[in-house]
Structure 1
């Protein structure tokens, strides 16, 4: 799964959506578990559970786990001015930085040596559910895992936006 993949959130962030490759072939599903929680599951083309993503209890960290509930990594936002930054600690596989310019819809993923290992961008979402395009060049992170990371970035942004709106 190293080509471009396309997947989307649902308007109410619940239910299943398809994951497509560049040839518009279905290669998996994204299960948005519930409108009341932010947890997700990434399924392969056979419908088998591969990766889960969810927030920690009372936390703002997004945990990515495999189908055995073994933790693969942890995503968290990093404070910065004029850019959007996230850090993904992929346990024994290293640390990855996810960066985007302030008003950009494109994010780049870098390893510890500042090598570009992937990117994703929001390709729609103004009046519709957000859809994403993922490019994975990493030898250490699967596309399934990166889909969970992308959804983690999206859910962290939603949570931060809701918190900012409720404090007004």
Structure 2
């Protein structure tokens, strides 16, 4: 799985199904953003089988990734940082990954415990008509579909923070 590149369309309305493509523009799965009013999603393979889900548990700012049976396989949470964005993803396999981005950048690096980049994602345009997330997985240690659930979790945490800031709530 060396340097697997995937693309996920960014749904403008933040609800409904969107396709997951590989670098050859071949559909390999789908992402279902359940509703514009709730922050949850499912990731499906090409045959329509549910692989993973992501959601915020009730009254929590942590993004949980679960397998098709509902078992937790990882947890994403934001870390406090000045002039950058930082997140930590704890996989139940015992691994942890740091996700970071410089201020105002659209590029996020996913680093392992040894500070080695294992994946990266960024919001790009031009591949399709609407903006997409481009995910490059450089390792076989973490599944690309799991990384998609994590990437979308980062996006949902950012939306929550923005919504709280806009409403005057300072919750992080």
With normalisation by structure 2, the TM-score equals 0.91
1:49 aligned to 2:45? no
Partner of 1:85: 86
Task: Report matched runs for 1:96-107 at 5 Å.
Answer: 96-107=97-108
Change (3 A) 1:88 1:118: same
Gaps of at least 5 residues in structure 1 are none
Partner of 1:121: 122
Q: Deviations over 1:111-163 (max 9, x none)?
A: 11111100000114xxx965200001222210000000000000000000000
Partner of 1:76: 77
Partner of 1:156: 157
SS in 1 for 2:7: strand
Change (3 A) 1:130 1:64: farther
Moved over 4 A (4+): none
SS in 1 for 2:87: strand
Partner of 1:23: 24
With normalisation by structure 1, the TM-score equals 0.93
Distance 1:8 1:156 in 2: 18
Partner of 1:13: 14
User: How many corresponding residue pairs?
Assistant: 166
CA drift of 1:84 comes to 0.6
Q: Deviations over 1:74-100 (max 9, x none)?
A: 000000011110000002331100011
Distance 2:164 2:130 in 1: 20
Gaps of at least 5 residues in structure 2 are none
